[in-house]
Amino acid sequence: MSELSPSSGQQDFPLIIFTVGTAASGKSSWAEAMRSRHPSLRIGILERDMIRVELFEAEADKPFSWTDWNPALENKVQWLWEQRVQELARKCDALILGDTHLDVGELRKKVIWLRELGAKEFTLHYFPALPLTDLLRRDQSRIHPVGGEALREHLKKIAPEEHYWAAIEGD
């Protein structure tokens, strides 16, 4: 991951909502449901996978697949993510950062970066680990399934919810 570095100047930031959960746990569906449930709020949703799909399809000129994804593009994904966070923050009342956020240390780095940009309010929505069989079933019905190996790795990485709260609260 590239270093998160704030751009010059502070700005007003919306409520930042982190999702925490494995792939296929319902994070994207929940984010879209929140936007639908609260039409009077300007809720932005940003997912790294959206950026990966855009990058891949623009460069490869074919539909995205995880087997064809080039991990060397992750630095570009990070840079674009940082740019989009700052763009969306100017337009939203709440910004849902809808990624897995399984790594507590990386989550803490994002919170620090966002605080340096002026963000003050953070919360998270935790998606408890589901049995692998349920995740596999859900994953198979997604447009871009990650597969069993990735799901098993996610299940190994997910920590108890309080660890993620400590990361965003600065404990």
**Mean pLDDT of the residues in the chain:** 92
Report whether 83 contacts 116 (CB < 8 A).
no
Residue 37's contacts (CB-CB under 8 Å, 6 or more residues apart) are none
Q: What is the pTM of this model?
A: 0.91
What is the arithmetic mean of pLDDT over 68-96? Answer: 96
Q: Within a domain: residue 97?
A: yes
Q: Evaluate if residue 9 carries a pLDDT over 50.
A: no
Q: How many CA atoms lie within 13 A of 132 on its CB side?
A: 10
Q: Looking at the domain assignment, is residue 10 inside a domain?
A: no
The total number of structural domains that make up the chain: 1
CATH number at residue 58: 3.40.50.300
Residue 59 phi, psi dihedral angles, 5° rounding? -90, -35
By residue range, what is the domain housing residue 49?
15-169
Please indicate, yes or no, if residue 158 is contained in any of the structural domains.
Answer: yes
User: 34 in a domain, yes or no?
Assistant: yes
pLDDT exceeds cutoff 50 at 77: yes
Specify which residues 126 forms β-bridges with: 20
For range 117-128, the mean pLDDT:
96
pLDDT at 36: 97
| Rounded percentage of the chain residues whose pLDDT exceeds 70 | 93
Residue 82 lies in a domain: yes
**What is the pLDDT averaged over residues 33-46?**
97
